[in-house]
Amino acid sequence: MTAVAAQALNKPPRDRWSAQEVATLASMRLKEAGPRPADPSNAYEQRTDAAALGRALFDDTRLSRNGQVACASCHSADRQFQDGKPFGQGMGTGKRRTMPVMGAAHSPFLFWDGRKDSLWSQALGPLEDPAEHGGNRVRFVKLVQGHYKDRYEAVFGPMPSLGKLPDDASPAGTDAERAAWAAMPESSRHAVNRVFANMGKAIAAFERNISYGESRFDRYAQATVAGDGRGQEVLSQQEVRGLRLFLTKGQCGTCHNGPLLTDQAFHNTGVPPIDRNQPDRGRADGLKKLLRDEFNCLGRYSDARPEQCGELQFLATDDPGQLAAFRTPSLRNVAERAPYMHAGQFTTLDQVLQHYASAPKPVLGHSELAQPGEQHADRQAIRLSPADIQDLAAFLGTLTGPVVQPE
């Protein structure tokens, strides 16, 4: 095709980007996320019968102390699989903001502090959290036995023989529940743990089918890669200015990169804690919890071989950067799910951006955001004018796409 003919088909690019910037934009397209990485610790995650069972469990309010809380209470399909509140509200009020489920299957570590290393072991946490479902594993396992036995056995094989169990018992529960757990024979504790772990594996099989769909930003990046000027019109000039700021002086892409706009790592960015006297220690505590979690990749309920748990075996626990560090969240659909940060500290995107521009001194640990005038090895102070903030907020709105979920 002649150059003239090509021009007749494609208007020349409206917005000019360097070759390196085009490569960066290409790397941010949703399609680059590829298929969800397989989780070797969950042998059932691909099974549709496991996913169907997981969906039923996800919606079942009987899996709670008061019979009113399900996963879906906080992770609602019509609210971006979160709740739009600063703190999760279940049996009580939690200390952190509910995270969306989309994209979670791509994260090597779950929760704001990364205290879980798989989607299935993550699911076991809220079930026994006193502020969330507030239940205990023996009660849950009896419920599965009573209401889901056939569906459970079709996926996981025969229920182990559970013997006579107390009504309520768990190593993570109240004093009475812990005592009841300690009094159970080791074989019953193991059998209960096995069924409990399998509940998580079914829930994970359901959750991994919930994902982000393409946004206007993806169409823009695709058009830019293809040199298609007409396609670039999908973003306004202001949104493109915001995108440029994101990649250049905003330095946002140093942490929010790749197709999900997250490096999946943990950073202290000086976000003010809710309680200054008891600041959240974030990753520093999350890592310790992960390493002693009986449901981690190396534990006996994992289906992985030890060499498949690479991340877990080589984690440094003495990195001072872990103190008050939180996981970089995906920015996909971010405009649809205020409030922001690990405890909903900010109610608008403007406030989030204002935070980056002011880079407050952290209450705990060391912020990775350079203060004005300060020189960090890998980042300068983020200087944003009021107009920059508006442009950046406009750009963040282009990252909204549909939530893709099973019929």
Residues that bind ligand HEC (CB under 6 A): 58, 69, 71, 73-75, 88-90, 94, 96-99, 101, 104, 107, 110-113, 122-123, 126-127, 132-133, 203, 207, 246, 250-252, 254-256, 267, 269, 271, 326, 328-329, 331, 334, 340-342, 349, 352-353, 356, 368, 382, 392, 396
Tokens of 187: 């074989």
Closest distance to ligand HEC from the beta carbon of 254 (Å):
5
Closest distance to ligand HEC from the beta carbon of 110 (Å):
4
Token pair 């009580």 is found at 92
Closest distance to ligand HEC from the beta carbon of 318 (Å):
20
Closest distance to ligand HEC from the beta carbon of 324 (Å):
8
Closest distance to ligand HEC from the beta carbon of 227 (Å):
27
Of 159 and 255, nearer to ligand HEC (C-beta) is 255
Closest distance to ligand HEC from the beta carbon of 253 (Å):
8
Closest distance to ligand HEC from the beta carbon of 3 (Å):
38
Closest distance to ligand HEC from the beta carbon of 226 (Å):
26
Token pair 């489920």 is found at 101
Of 302 and 333, nearer to ligand HEC (C-beta) is 333
Task: Give 182: exposed, middle or buried? Use CB within 10 Å, 0-12, 13-18, 19+.
Answer: exposed
Tokens of 273: 């804690």
How many angstroms separate the CA atoms of 397 and 386, rounded? 17
Of 203 and 284, nearer to ligand HEC (C-beta) is 203
Is residue 280 a contact partner of residue 273, using CB atoms and an 8 Å limit? yes
How many angstroms separate the CA atoms of 140 and 147, rounded? 10
Of 228 and 327, nearer to ligand HEC (C-beta) is 327
Is residue 189 a contact partner of residue 163, using CB atoms and an 8 Å limit? no
What is each CA distance from 182 to 30, 187, 294, in whole angstroms? 48, 12, 16
Of 63 and 309, nearer to ligand HEC (C-beta) is 63
**Short-list 326, 338, 396, CA closest to 364:** 326
How many angstroms separate the CA atoms of 42 and 239, rounded? 41
How many angstroms separate the CA atoms of 89 and 389, rounded? 32
**Short-list 34, 18, 230, 54, CA closest to 151:** 54
Of 60 and 168, nearer to ligand HEC (C-beta) is 60
**Short-list 369, 112, 376, 399, CA closest to 250:** 369
Of 193 and 269, nearer to ligand HEC (C-beta) is 269
Of 6 and 319, nearer to ligand HEC (C-beta) is 319
Is residue 42 a contact partner of residue 205, using CB atoms and an 8 Å limit? yes
What is each CA distance from 198 to 24, 43, 123, 137, 160, in whole angstroms? 40, 10, 10, 12, 12
